[in-house]
Amino acid sequence: MDMTVQRLWTHDETAAFLHISAWTLHHLCTTGTGPTRYKVGKHRRYDPTEVVRWLRSTTTTPGGEDR
């Protein structure tokens, strides 16, 4: 079984990737609408694959309707 593991992103790295503020990412996560995150000690970490999957799930149709 191939277990390739990517480095997890920090909260700030994830916010930068999404082009949003760290506060906005925090708000999305605490309201349950953001990407999955993991707590490692006192730190929040994000799996890049899951962040992209979450981002794709938030797309809208050309008319502006949410999917």
Q: pLDDT value at position 60?
A: 75
Question: What are the residues whose beta carbons fall under 8 Å from the beta carbon of 24, sequence distance 6 or more?
Answer: 15
Task: Please give the model's pTM, rounded to 2 decimal places.
Answer: 0.80
- Sheet strands (E) in 1-67: 9-10, 38-40, 43-46
> So what's the pLDDT on residue 6?
82
Domain assignments of the chain as residue spans, ordered by start? 9-57
Could you please state the CATH topology (level 3) that the domain comprising 9-57 is classified under.
Answer: Multidrug-efflux Transporter Regulator; Chain: A; Domain 2 (1.10.1660)
Residue 22's region, left for phi above 0, alpha for psi from -120 to 50, else beta, is: alpha
Give the whole-angstrom CA distance, residue 8 versus residue 65: 32
CB atoms within 10 A of CB 52: 12
Instruction: Profile the chain (67 residues) by mean pLDDT over runs of 10 residues.
Output: 79 97 96 95 95 91 64
pLDDT at 54: 96
- Residues making up the chain, counted from first to last: 67
